[in-house]
Amino acid sequence: MLEGFSTMEIIKMLLPVIILEFGLKIFCIISIYKNGVKNVNKIVWILVVLFISTIGPIVFLIFGRRNNYDN
């Protein structure tokens, strides 16, 4: 599938995805520190965000993020 592409061309194609994922992880980690979390310890959520690729931050945003209206 990628036989005709050089390594640099592949990196250039994947760069937007890599930047988006990195930005999402940074956003989630900042949110964990500033706003706190629901249900589970902060350390657990940080590990989920860091080590479960793209799914970890999405799971945090859906289930773990503390909203402004939460007490």
pLDDT band of 5, cuts 50, 70, 90: confident
Query: What mean pLDDT value characterizes the chain?
Result: 86
Task: Enter the tokens of residue 55.
Answer: 């799914």
In angstroms, the CA 71 to CA 66 distance is 9
Res. 37: pLDDT tops 90: no
Degrees to nearest 5, angle at CA 28 with 37 and 35 = 40
pLDDT average, residue stretch 21-50: 90
Separation CA 61–CA 48 (nearest Å) = 11
Is the pLDDT score of 32 beyond 70?
Answer: yes
What is residue 62's predicted lDDT score, i.e. its pLDDT?
87
pLDDT at site 69: 56
Domain ranges of the chain: 38-71
**Type and span of the H or E element at 57:** helix 55-59
